[in-house]
Amino acid sequence: MKTSLYTLGLLFFIACSSSQNASKEIENTGDPTKYAATITAENLKTHLYIFASDEFEGRNTGEPGQKKAIKYLKDFYVSQQIISPLGGDDYYQEVPAEFLNKNAGGAVLKDSENVLAFIKGTEKPDEIVVISAHLDHEGIKDGKIYNGADDDGSGSMAILEIAEAFKAAVKDGNGPKRSILFLHVTGEEKGLLGSKYYTENPIFPLANTVCNLNIDMIGRVDKAHEKNPNYVYVIGADKLSTELQQVSDSVNTKYTNIHLDYKYNDEDDPNRFYYRSDHYNFAKHNIPVIFYFNGTHDDYHKPTDTPDKIEYDLLAKRTRLVFYTAWEVANRKTRLVVDKTPTK
């Protein structure tokens, strides 16, 4: 990742109402718990120990390690028979150096790539749910490799597991009603550049994009939650769509029971995390977003952010939350309504 309360009675009423409404919105899509069960700590660990290994050299934008990272992502999608929306064997949206350097604040970068994979919706294929994470990190500095296991290897590998779960549903004849775009963006650490490029050069019209679920650091525990690690920070869910907030809460209550911490969702939060990851480039276009985040820790943006420090059971649980939320949004009878004015 780049360097609000009601009375108890009202909360209870809203939670019950939203849960009931959500259940009425979905029918005949199979049991999502069957597919969520394919998201495992073991699989995530296997992936992340490769993706955040020294071999990938910190995945710096445009550099050889980043090229290895995009190949790893592509090879996974090919192995799962999850297609590219670009057609054929092309899973890369090229992000030219000219664009990167124009927007990178003085950094000199080489050509880079976003990685895209796609599951077509069965009933509303033109409506797109985007699940995103950034594939890049800090590279090598002063001879030290910045592996970026949590930032954002955790989010990148979570997407692979979510994609595999949706593909399992497709094989059973329970594919999502809306299409799912799995979007791995480059250049986040340089200024949210890969997501900026995608939203300015979208593969699918932004008007057709239902929401963006963005995952950036979900493998660790911050100091505020050391005694209760069953949490995740949820940022942005209520900024543009009341329904998205309701879906997020009801899905969590029904399936995962994680403490959803809204601390950083406060408009007065001095960290301004809402503006510091790739979802913001979608929110700027009036697309509802959720940013999933574990908070910072002592290894944030340091070479010590390594895969041995990831809490894989917790990573799997948080990944399942994102999957369930995407499942709900993709299979609702009606598209999420944008009913709020963007914050300036």
Q: What is the DSSP string of 106-126?
A: T-----EEEEEEEE--SSEEE
| Residue 1's pLDDT band (cuts 50, 70, 90) | confident
d(CA 207, CA 286): 9
Query: In sequence order, what are the beta bridge partners of 130?
Result: 181, 212
Q: Is 284 helix (H, G, I), strand (E, B) or coil?
A: coil
Tens digits of per-residue pLDDT, 99-114? Answer: 999 999 888 999 999 9
Q: What is the mean pLDDT of residues 21-43?
A: 81
Answer whether residue 13 shows pLDDT above 50.
no
- The kind and range of the H/E element at 197 are helix 193-200
For residue 11, what pLDDT is reported? 41
Per-residue pLDDT at 15: 46
d(CA 124, CA 144): 47
Q: Is the peptide bond before 268 cis (omega within 30 degrees of 0)?
A: no
CA dist 101 and 90 (Å) reads: 24
The predicted structure's pLDDT at residue 27: 55
What are the pLDDT digits (tens) for 209-222?
999 999 999 999 99
Between residues 289 and 23, the one the model is more confident about: 289
Q: Rounded to two decimals, what is the model's pTM?
A: 0.93
**pLDDT on residue 341:** 82
Neighbours of 43 (CB within 10 A): 17
